[in-house]
Structure 1
Amino acid sequence: MIKQQTDLFPDEMWVTNVQVATVWTSPESARAVDTAGLSNPTNIDTWIANLTHEAKLALCDENRVQSQLLYGEPVLIDEIKEEWAKVVIPSQPSKKDERGYPGWVPLKQLAQVKKGEWKSDLTVAITSDKAWLTSGEGEKLMKLSYMTLLPVEEIQKEKVKVKTPQGFGYIHTSSTKVFTTSLGKEKGTGKEIVEAGEPFLELSYFWGGMSSFGYDCSGLAYAAHKANGYQIPRDAGDQAASGKKVAFDELLPGDLIFFAYEEGKGKLHHVGIFYGNGKMLHSPQTGKGIEIITLEGTKYEKELCAACRYWHENEEY
């Protein structure tokens, strides 16, 4: 169930203060070519567009990037080192830290808010590919990613008034879904998990990507589940370990399928969403876009190593 888990945070809590904050392995991991993704405000479109194929590959191959945060996503800060903050992300479960996913973020991409003022009975989720946060006069302030969650101040006829680290903003209702914060987002079916991924077909793969500006394989699986009320681990290995195991001959749309080197016997390296009829929806690798493929006859058929399920139709499951 996707909730804003403010109980985990101190009275003065930290939240993400840019459209997407990239979580780096260390403060030294970021490069000059990453400036548009390190600033405040960020311009994620420009950053990704200006990266060469080699520069994108290096984010993975040189172990530079760990994950990403969306606007308003809360973090715990363990350490501040000059202009960087070592954070833990409770909304992204990980075996790396029992509290959540760890990494480093530029301190200027975070902001402190008072927990009592930040909390709200209602939360809004962005359900379109992207949506503009605007001022009360309609001025475009920030382009926000799919599945950005923000506390609701007021529901108006055509807009939702939301709390942000900079004060109040507005998002058009056509791009949103409002849910009760304490209950979390309504849980969807496996079919709805598949449907959550379909709008992103052809979106370019981005290592560490957790936003609709670019997903990696496990980021896409995470977002599709988040859209349907399920909080799953952030990384593919943790996703495989935590879900309900499913036999390959019992796969249903929305299940996660995993792949390992050495024809399924080596290190797990990839996850896809089972689409049905022997197909999967996945974000494959740097240089390629999200796609639906038939497994038969591909390397993935030989590398298939595990499958699991997080979704269910019955609340008592």
Structure 2
Amino acid sequence: MKGICQIPVIPCRAEPFDRSEMVNQLLFGETYEVLEEQDKWVKIKSHGDNYECWISKNQHADTSGHRDKKLIIAQKFSAAHHKDQSIFLPAGSIINDERSIRIDDKEFVLENEVVTKTPEDLDKLSRSFLNTPYLWGGKTFMGIDCSGFTQVLFRCVGYAIPRDAWQQEEKGSSIEFGDHKFGDLAFFVNKEGKVNHVGLLLSQNEIIHASGKVRSDKFNNEGIEHSDNGELTHRLHSIKRYF
């Protein structure tokens, strides 16, 4: 059985109960395979990145009658309206019409036409998320984690990368420090040497990343230097290029 996210965002949990950790989110239009059903929960595997998690059964929607979806919402969010109802689609949402979406036989008209973005747009797009609060497992303008941030940004410009930082680090081409440039991803490790953080390079000495909130900081050969107090907050592990 296949499913589709038909609301702006669905929380995805590690285990099938309400208090379980949120490890990911499905965005509008994302599809998935149903692996298992348990009481009021559905275990799924996302088609976009093969991420497995549990969602509430009352948020599951069957894909029957839905066309293949191709267009990406490539701005912080996009509002759509039907009479006195409104819906806000986060960046990375997948739709199949430039002007409207259909939910439960209701047509919601988008305020802005969908515009295709390219990697050159990453600077402006990423900065539009500045001050978005950090949220473990989050992928939207209401709350986002470091790898959710980079995954959504790359989707908006036509590149699919895995969900978690350590998975993203396994992809792309390795780049030596000094050869890095705008658009590369930098990865960082914890005290145990495990990759646990990622950010987007805006230049050779500036990085944007989600840490407490989406913020811009200084970048050097040691890692991330807090722009306010000069503290080294993240230790550099590697730099990868995807385009």
Instruction: Confirm or deny a common fold (TM above 0.5).
Output: yes
* 1:83 lines up with 2:40 in the alignment: yes
Show structure 2 runs of 5+ residues with no match: 226-230
2: distance between equivalents of 1:22 and 1:274?
28
Check conservation: 2:73, 2:156, Cα contact below 8 A.
no
In the other structure, the counterpart of 2:198 is 271
* 1:123 lines up with 2:64 in the alignment: no
Alignment CA distance shift 1:241-1:225 (3 Å): same
* 1:24 lines up with 2:6 in the alignment: no
Given candidates 143, 150, 154, the residue that maps to 2:95 is: 150
2: distance between equivalents of 1:266 and 1:199?
32
* 1:216 lines up with 2:149 in the alignment: no
Deviations 1:29-64 (A, max 9, x none): x23xxxxxxxxxxxxxxxxxxxxxxxxxxxxxxx71
The letter of the residue matching 2:63 is V
1: distance between equivalents of 2:153 and 2:143?
13
2: distance between equivalents of 1:258 and 1:198?
19
- Pairwise CA distance, 1:196: 2.1
In the other structure, the counterpart of 2:24 is 67
2: distance between equivalents of 1:277 and 1:252?
6
Runs of 4+ in 1 over 3 A off after TM superposition: none
In the other structure, the counterpart of 1:109 is 59
* 1:169 lines up with 2:93 in the alignment: no
- Pairwise CA distance, 1:207: 0.5
SS of residue in 1 equivalent to 2:136: coil
Q: TM-score, normalised by structure 1?
A: 0.68
1: distance between equivalents of 2:57 and 2:16?
11
Q: What is the aligned length? A: 234
Q: TM-score, normalised by structure 2?
A: 0.88
The letter of the residue matching 1:24 is R
In the other structure, the counterpart of 2:218 is 294
Deviations 1:96-137 (A, max 9, x none): xxxx000000011111131xx3115x73332332222322xx
Deviations 1:281-301 (A, max 9, x none): 0001xxx22111113554246
SS of residue in 1 equivalent to 2:213: coil
Check conservation: 2:180, 2:204, Cα contact below 8 A.
no
Show structure 1 runs of 5+ residues with no match: 1-9, 32-62, 93-99, 178-184, 312-317
Deviations 1:137-193 (A, max 9, x none): x322422212211122xx5xxxx13233x224233252523xxxxxxx66x23x422
Check conservation: 1:161, 1:168, Cα contact below 8 A.
no
Given candidates 225, 228, 232, the residue that maps to 2:161 is: 232
In the other structure, the counterpart of 1:282 is 209
1: distance between equivalents of 2:206 and 2:232?
13
Alignment of 1:39-58 (within 5 A): none
In the other structure, the counterpart of 1:5 is none
2: distance between equivalents of 1:310 and 1:168?
39
The letter of the residue matching 2:11 is T
2: distance between equivalents of 1:141 and 1:195?
26
- Pairwise CA distance, 1:310: 1.0
- Pairwise CA distance, 1:237: 0.4
SS of residue in 1 equivalent to 2:151: helix
The letter of the residue matching 1:167 is D
In the other structure, the counterpart of 1:243 is 172
Check conservation: 2:44, 2:55, Cα contact below 8 A.
yes
Given candidates 135, 143, 155, the residue that maps to 1:206 is: 135
- Would you tell me which structure has more helix in proportion to its own residues? 1
- Would you tell me which structure has more strand in proportion to its own residues? 2
Given candidates 114, 124, 128, the residue that maps to 1:195 is: 124
2: distance between equivalents of 1:107 and 1:129?
28
- Pairwise CA distance, 1:247: 0.9
RMSD in angstroms over aligned alpha carbons? 2.1
The letter of the residue matching 1:211 is T
In the other structure, the counterpart of 2:228 is none
SS of residue in 2 equivalent to 1:142: strand
* 1:253 lines up with 2:198 in the alignment: no
